[in-house]
Amino acid sequence: MNIFITGGAGFIGSNFIKYILKNHADYHVYNLDALTYAGNLDSLWDVESNPHYRFIKTDIQDAGALDEILAPGSDAVVNFAAESHVDRSILDPQAFTHTNVLGTHVLLEAARRAGVKKFVQVSTDEVYGTLGSTGYFTEESPLLPNSPYSASKAGADCIVRAYHETYSMDVNITRCSNNYGPYQFPEKLIPLMVINALHDKPLPVYGDGQNIRDWLHVEDHCQAIDLVLHNGRPGEVYNVGGHNERTNLQIVQSILSELGKPESLIQFVEDRLGHDRRYAIDATKIRNELGWTPRYTFEDGLRETIRWYVDHRDWWENVQSGEYRKYYEQQYGSRLGARS
Ligand code: NAD
Ligand code: TYD
């Protein structure tokens, strides 16, 4: 099988490439990534010389480049490429429409032209909006996105769906809850808090810290995408989540406890605009249809992930480039004041 993985230099994409090369050693994997601030080839050091792996620097908005790369009749495209951080989408929303909506459309159209046999769109539970204190998102929940990020992902999902309905393209959409694990960019909650704690810097918790996310280890997500890629019914959406609901404050407290750092590092800061209160996934469909079950318990996965960041200082020091420092200052400078 020839698989074209877009956004493969990011957090989930790089983990997925390794998952595929490990579990399907005869497949050929092409990593198409524009290498934005979030793309990092260091995350792929261990597969770089694998003859079944190839990196091609590509922007998914570049139709001409995609036409050259996607060989006619290729087996699959798995689209991870995206602007993925909600806080950045509040600071610069249009970049999200360009890559997530337009980029997905350009890629989908190129895949259609090339007669690609399967197109998997890696989406998010955030397209469903926010939940109250009870209930779960199912595949039938309405799309009610609240951030420019989730709105752009919902827009992409609608275009992918339309290509199935209109052109009978074999597409699938996966909607997963929050991921954690190795190689996640340090702007996201878990790595950001681990790294700040290691530096004895304040841990900026938005609002009252009671927002709930449903956490899933990245490897469990990769397994789900692999199952959808091979066995997903054409046109279907699959939710992915492991029933690990935690408040942000609980996450931060667990990190501090694991690292032996004091809770006095926690600082409650101004809330995120439009901050969704709770996400929780009903993953019955993928479990029943495709036999997916997560392998990690949250406690083991979180402990292992914290250790990974402790042991891979070089990786995160490298990605904390000038661009990241500028973003951190813009996002947290006035929130944390002199203590940052
Ligand atoms: P990430 O930000 O770590 O990586 C995104 C990758 O896409 C980077 O390598 C970047 O260089 C690349 N990219 C960005 N714009 C591009 C473009 N125009 N052309 C080609 N490449 C481009 O993101 P992630 O956390 O790995 O998320 C991957 C996908 O999974 C996203 O589509 C995201 O919406 C979805 N998702 C993420 C989570 C999560 O918790 N992280 C949960 C559910 C779904
Ligand atoms: P994040 O990792 O950005 O993922 P998402 O917004 O896609 O769920 O944030 C997870 C939760 O953590 C979210 O409720 C916002 C919160 N959060 C903080 O409280 N402080 C922070 O510095 C960050 C980055 C996130």
pTM score of the predicted model:
0.98
Extract the tokens encoding 65. Answer: 């480049």
Domain boundaries, the chain: 2-331
Task: Judge if the beta carbon of residue 10 lies within 6 A of ligand 1.
Answer: yes
Main-chain phi, psi angles of 164, to 5 degrees: -75, -50
Q: Write down how long the chain is.
A: 340
Whether pLDDT at 260 is above 60: yes
Residue 50 · residue 24 · CB < 8 Å? no
Does domain 2-331 sit in CATH 3.30.9.100?
A: no
The residue nearest atom 25 of ligand 2, judged by CA position, is 189
**Confidence band for 52, pLDDT divided at 50, 70 and 90:** very high
Q: Which of 88, 91, 196, 213 best tests ligand 2's pocket when mutated (most atoms within 8 Å of CB)?
A: 213
What's the pLDDT tens digit per position in 228-237? 999 999 999 9
Mean pLDDT value across residues 106-111: 98
**Confidence band for 241, pLDDT divided at 50, 70 and 90:** very high
Residue 68: is it exposed, middle or buried by C-beta count within 10 angstroms (0-12/13-18/19+)? Answer: exposed
The span from the CA of 96 to the CA of 29, in Å, is 26
The span from the CA of 239 to the CA of 221, in Å, is 10
Residue 78 · residue 229 · CB < 8 Å? yes
The three-state secondary structure class of 59 is coil
Mean pLDDT value across residues 102-118: 98
DSSP state of 272: P
Nearest ligand, CA of residue 213?
A: 2
For helices 104-114 and 148-167, what crossing angle results, to 10°? 20
What's the pLDDT tens digit per position in 300-318? 999 999 999 999 999 999 9
Main-chain phi, psi angles of 334, to 5 degrees: -80, -25
Task: Judge if the beta carbon of residue 80 lies within 6 A of ligand 1.
Answer: yes
What's the pLDDT tens digit per position in 154-170? 999 999 999 999 999 99
DSSP bridge pairs for 32: 6, 56
The three-state secondary structure class of 258 is helix
Q: Which of 150, 190, 206, 244 best tests ligand 2's pocket when mutated (most atoms within 8 Å of CB)?
A: 206
DSSP state of 97: I
Residue 191 · residue 184 · CB < 8 Å? yes
Instruction: Count Cβ atoms below 10 Å from residue 262 Cβ, excluding itself.
Output: 9
Residue 3 · residue 20 · CB < 8 Å? yes
Which residue matches tokens 């996965």? 301
DSSP bridge pairs for 109: none
